[in-house]
A and B are shown apart, each in its own frame.
Chain A
Amino acid sequence: MKTEILAIGRHPEILQTVVRLVNNNPEWNATGAGTDDEAILAFSAQPFRLVLLGGGIEKESEDRLCAAFRALNPDIIIVQHYGGGSGLLFAEIYQALN
């Protein structure tokens, strides 16, 4: 069974790139969300193990999203994704899952 990962970011092209890069790993499946509403809707609809918070997410949104996710799943792992590409992505995911 694949590890479900929710990637959130405001820059559409970067978000698309992050989702594509995550999905290059056959053990992972990424869903992308560009807005808070999309993210909360997606999180309510399927069981994610990890949330990646990407670029452009304001502090208020980040706090609101984290609270909403933890209310639905107290064990959810939430990490910041830095760099917007392949450089740090895999290490961030491995680090979070391990």
Chain B
Amino acid sequence: MAHTVLHKAETRGHANHGWLNSYHSFSFSSYYNPERMNFGALRVLNDDTVDAGMGFGKHPHDNMEIISIPLEGDLEHKDSMNNVAVIKNGDIQAMSAGTGIYHSEYNKDREQRVKFLQIWVYPDKKNVEPRYDQITLNLEDRHNKLQQILSPNADDEGVWIHQNAWFHLGKFDKGVSTEYNIKGKGNGVYVFVLNGDVKVNDQLLNTRDGYGIWDTDKFTITVETDAEFLLMEVPMEF
């Protein structure tokens, strides 16, 4: 029988630093809630808004798979591997921090804010060589169907990470329904609604709600209004 967990949007941790307004689905930085530590290998889901001209200064990471999905505006990334890139809505960035990297992320635009999801997944092996990847997705490929944006395989669709994980984005019209078949044995899926009303089996979710489902092979997604959502399939044991 499937197990589930519901995280309503308003129950997330919240930190407003002025230049950065962040909602945390799981314990992060100064937000600590022992009931909200992770969903399997999914450890961080931050819903960040960065003011115009502001950003995260140079800071380190190690042993974590870090995925950024811009929702609005452009974010400039610079790292200690000499990568300089701008990610914008429609892109996805994946970084394996491994043995250690430094990076910065800035909103270079003087007028427009940036909204992006910052997602951390525990790696399936520690101390890997750091790596960075970024691709531009075709937005049409998620209209009324699931678009794979991340997998464990370098030659598969989307970016890849060091974990048995698959991410999909969907932008569905009202009334459209699909079935999601879990790919990895022992995996669960964390559904995050970007906007609109979405039903997972019989559970209604609203904008920015999160819903984890595991111990099942598949589930049904039906959108009650036009809606966008992100599915994050991750191992529950890692």
Assess whether A90 is in contact with B63, with CB atoms less than 8 Å apart.
no
Query: Given the complex of chains A and B, what is the CA–CA distance between A9 and B226 in angstroms?
Result: 48
Q: Could you say which residues of chain A place their CB within 8 Å of the CB of B99?
A: 10-11, 55-56
- Within the complex, the shortest CB–CB distance from B106 to chain A, in Å, comes to 17
- Within the complex, the shortest CB–CB distance from B45 to chain A, in Å, comes to 12
- Tell me if B132 is interfacial: C-beta within 8 Å of chain A: no
**Beta-carbon contacts under 8 Å, A46-98 to B:** 54-58, 82-88, 90-91, 94-95, 98
Assess whether B27 is in contact with A9, with CB atoms less than 8 Å apart.
no
Assess whether B37 is in contact with A85, with CB atoms less than 8 Å apart.
no
Assess whether B61 is in contact with A83, with CB atoms less than 8 Å apart.
yes
Assess whether B59 is in contact with A95, with CB atoms less than 8 Å apart.
no
Which of the 9-residue segments B109-117, B120-128, B140-148, B215-223 touches chain A? Answer: B120-128
Assess whether B29 is in contact with A87, with CB atoms less than 8 Å apart.
yes
Contact flags B87-125 to A (C-beta < 8 A → 1, else 0): 000000000011110100000000000000000101000
- Tell me if B32 is interfacial: C-beta within 8 Å of chain A: yes
- Tell me if B30 is interfacial: C-beta within 8 Å of chain A: yes
Q: Could you say which residues of chain B place their CB within 8 Å of the CB of A98?
A: 34
- Within the complex, the shortest CB–CB distance from B233 to chain A, in Å, comes to 20
- Within the complex, the shortest CB–CB distance from A38 to chain B, in Å, comes to 18
- Tell me if B12 is interfacial: C-beta within 8 Å of chain A: no
- Within the complex, the shortest CB–CB distance from A3 to chain B, in Å, comes to 16
Contacts A55-B62, A55-B127 hold; do A14 and B100 have CB atoms under 8 A apart? yes
Kindly list the 10 A-B residue pairs having the minimum CB-CB distance in the complex, ordered from nearest.
A55-B62, A84-B62, A11-B100, A91-B27, A14-B60, A84-B61, A83-B64, A84-B60, A55-B63, A91-B32
Q: Spell out A's residues near B (CB within 8 Å).
A: 9-11, 13-14, 17, 54-58, 82-88, 90-91, 94-95, 98
Residue pairs across A and B with Cβ atoms less than 8 A apart, 23 shown, are A13-B60, A17-B59, A54-B63, A55-B98, A56-B100, A56-B127, A57-B127, A82-B63, A82-B122, A83-B97, A83-B120, A84-B60, A84-B62, A84-B97, A85-B59, A85-B61, A86-B29, A88-B28, A88-B43, A88-B120, A90-B29, A90-B32, A91-B27
